[in-house]
Structure 1
C-alpha cells in the first residue's frame, strides 16, 4: 500500500507540474531573491551547451534563466528516476529493467499532456532526458543490489 501511495504521489506531482504554464512554474523570482550576488557567475559564464538547437549560456539567456534551465532539467531526471524506481518496486527482480520502457512511455504521455496545456510545448529532448533519468536510477538500483549481494556473500563466508 505504501508503494502505491508513493507512485500515486509522483504521478500527481508530475500531472500538476505538466498542467502549469511556464510562468506559473518560473523559478526566476526565487533565484533572484536567494542568489542576488549571482554566485559562481564567472565560472558559469564560461559554460555553453546546445540543447536541441538552442544555445544555453549566461550570455544567451542571462544568469537566472541559465540556472533555471539546469534546475528544470535536473528535475526531469530526478522525477523520472523516482518514477522508474517506484515502478521497479512492483516488479520481480528479474524484470526490473522493464521499468525503463514503462517510464519512457510515461514520459511520452507527459509530453503529450504538455502539448494540450497552454503555454507549454512538448519536446522529444525531454522524453530522452526523462528516460536517461530512469536509466540512471535503475542503474544505481542494480549496482546497489549487486554490492548488497556481494557483502552478504562475503559476510556469510566469514
Structure 2
C-alpha cells in the first residue's frame, strides 16, 4: 500500500511540473468548450460574475467557455492536491507517528509544493502565480489528508475488534 502511495505522489509531482511548464495557450480548453456549449452556454451559468485575484470571471464579459474552463482549472487544482495529500498520507503512514504530527507535516509539505508550483509557473509565458491558488491547493491537500487519516483510523479500529 505504501508503494502505491509513493507512485501516486511521484505521478502527481511529475504532472504538476509538466502542467506548470505549459503556457496557457497549450492548456486552453476554451476552443473545445466553445464548440461544446456554444456562445451562450447553459442558462444556470448566465449570472456568474465575480473576481478571483485580479481576474474578472463573468459569463457576460468573457463568455461561458472561459467561465467553465476557470471552474475546471480550479477543480483540477483542488483535486490534484487532494490526491497528493492522500497519497503522502498513505506513503508515510508508518514512517511518521503520531498521526497528528504526520497530518500537520504533510499539510505544510503539500502547501510548500503548491507555493513552489505557483513560483515555477511564474516563469512560464502567459501564466501567473496566484496566492489564491496556493490556498485552494492547501484546502484540497488538507481534505485529502483528513479523509485518508479517517479511513486509516476506521480500518485500524475494525482490525482490532
Category of TM-score, reference length = shorter chain = 0.7 to 0.9
How many residues are aligned here? 153
Secondary structure, aligned partner of 1:119: coil
Aligned partner (choices 122, 125, 131) of residue 124 of structure 1? 131
Gapped regions of structure 1 (runs ≥ 5): none
Gapped regions of structure 2 (runs ≥ 5): none
- TM-score with structure 2 setting the length: 0.82
Whole-angstrom CA distance in 1 between matches of 2:78 and 2:62: 22
> Cα–Cα, structure 1 residues 2 and 136, in superposed 2: closer, same or farther, change >3 Å?
closer
Match of 1:83 in 2: 84
Tell me how large the CA RMSD over aligned residues is.
Answer: 2.3
Q: How do residues 131-142 of structure 1 correspond to structure 2 at under 5 angstroms? A: 131-142=138-149
Secondary structure, aligned partner of 2:125: coil
- TM-score with structure 1 setting the length: 0.84
Q: CA deviation at 1:99?
A: 1.1
Secondary structure, aligned partner of 1:89: helix
> Cα–Cα, structure 1 residues 9 and 45, in superposed 2: closer, same or farther, change >3 Å?
same
Whole-angstrom CA distance in 2 between matches of 1:53 and 1:117: 18
Q: CA deviation at 1:146?
A: 4.8
Q: CA deviation at 1:117?
A: 1.4
Secondary structure, aligned partner of 1:140: helix
Match of 1:31 in 2: 33
Secondary structure, aligned partner of 1:10: helix
Whole-angstrom CA distance in 1 between matches of 2:11 and 2:38: 33
